[in-house]
Amino acid sequence: MEYERVTGKRYRVLHPRPAYVLIVGKWGGDDRGIMAASWVMPLSEEPERLVVAWDKETHSLSILRKTGVFTVNVVGPELTDLVWRVGSVSGWEVDKFREYGIEVEQARSNGGMVLKGALGWVEARVFRIVEDLAEDVDLVIADVVDAYARRDLYDPRYGWRASKAGILLHASGRAFFTPGRMVFAEK
């Protein structure tokens, strides 16, 4: 077996990764943000926490610092274009909700918002923001407040029924995968 040395963007050896839609802000509030994120992971079971590597310059992080709540929305391939759009445009420049006609619903437990049409979501509240570990990101450590998943696509014991749910995975740029196939976001 032959191996090739990977140079530049070596983190892509860990791709494809789930492509999530993060929504920050409180339901009914004026301060809200939405972005795509892949660098999200569980941190601990007790207490139940997750961590997000969040670009320091994002509009969403500035809102999160004020409101302290967000949701991690799990999506399928039907939202590929939306994921690409919210991950490619800055909230400092455009109101993504208005620009892309994004519909949200009230989260059930943390006072935030969830993406209409998501396969499921995690509702979170900021526990701590760790700064200065890297030049470009802050680590947001959050308590998991609640989580919901479509009953037909999720198994409480094993997680997502991958072939049926078709969770969107980000490869690079406009390229995404779902289990068994590759899809591309429109230009």
Quote the CA–CA distance of 119 and 73 in Å, as a whole number: 7
pLDDT band at residue 187 under the 50/70/90 scheme: confident
User: Domain residues for 71?
Assistant: 15-184
Q: Name which of 157, 127, 147 is nearest 20 in CA terms.
A: 147
Q: So what's the pLDDT on residue 42?
A: 97
DSSP letters, the chain, are -------SSGGGGG-SEE-EEEEEE-TT-S-EEEEEE--EEEEEETTEEEEEEEETT-HHHHHHHHH-EEEEEE--GGGHHHHHHHHHS-TTT--HHHHHT--EEE-SSSS-EEETT-SEEEEEEEEEEE-SSSSSEEEEEEEEEEEEE-TTTEETTTEE-HHHH---EEEETTEEEETTEEEE---
Residue 180: per-residue pLDDT? 79
What CATH number is associated with residue 115?
Answer: 2.30.110.10
For position 89, what pLDDT does the model report?
Answer: 96
Assigned token pair, 153: 């696509």
In a domain, 2, yes or no: no
8 in any annotated domain: no
**Which residue's entry shows tokens 């050896």?**
13
Separation between Cα atoms, residue 174 and residue 83, nearest integer Å? 10
Per-residue pLDDT reduced to its tens digit, 79-131: 999 999 999 999 999 999 999 999 999 999 999 999 999 999 999 999 999 99
- 28-51 pLDDT, tens digit each: 988 999 999 999 999 999 999 999
3 part of a folded domain: no
Residue 56 lies in a domain: yes
Inside any domain, residue 163: yes
| Sheet with 20-25, edge to edge strand ranges | 32-37, 20-25, 69-74, 120-130, 137-149, 48-55, 40-45
Structural domain count of the chain = 1
Q: Please state, in angstroms and rounded to a whole number, the distance separating the CA atoms of residues 170 and 12.
A: 10
Beta pairing class for 169-172 and 17-18: antiparallel
Within-domain flag for 75: yes
For residue 166, being part of any structural domain is answered with yes
Residue 67 forms part of a structural domain: yes
